Amino acid sequence: MHELGIAASVLQEAQQEAQHHPGARLRKVKLRVGEFSGVNPEALSFSFEVLVRDAGLELLQLEIETCPRRQRCPACQRTFTVADYDLRCPSCGTAETEFAGGDELELASLEMEDYEPSAAGAKSS
């Protein structure tokens, strides 16, 4: 259960980035988590919820895109998604294909709501 530590890193990175955008309010963190990353997305989401609540940032959401394993075929150059550990190229049948993704644990982007002092009180969507 190392998801709490990973959630803390995610929150820290997001907050550091937010400092470069004074006045903007952090609303969403988008992550990419590979099926082969060794990280459980549910445990990560739960940990993140606990941390943002503790930090008084309840409005901050975590969005996780799970990424399946991909392989690349050296013969026909096609990159394909792997189902049920079948690593053969679906186009040309080549058995020996190369790992091409599925272990990512990446911060993709942040969504921020711009804070406009002049518009304060006049709620915009």
Partner 1 sequence: MSQVPLERKVLSENDRIAAELRRRFADQGVLCLNLISSPGSGKTTLLERTLEAFPASARVAVLTGDIQTENDAARLRRFGFPVRQITTGGTCHLDARMIERALADWHSVSYDLLFIENVGNLVCPASYDLGEAAKIVVLSVTEGEDKPLKYPAIFLKSKLLVLSKIDLLPYVPFDISAAEHNARRVHPEIDVVKLSCVTGAGLEQWQSWIEERRRELQALRGALVT
What 8-state DSSP symbol labels residue 115? P
Q: How many helices (H) and strands (E) does the chain have?
A: 2, 6
The verdict on 81 binding partner 1 (CB under 8 A) reads no
**Angle at Cα 27 formed by Cα 22 and Cα 18, nearest 5°?**
30
Least distance from partner 1 to the Cβ atom of residue 95, Å = 8
Q: How far is the CB of 22 from partner 1 (least distance, A)?
A: 13
57 sits near partner 1 (criterion: CB under 8 A): no
Residue whose CB is less far from partner 1, 6 or 51? 6
Q: Does 114 bind partner 1 (CB under 8 A)?
A: yes
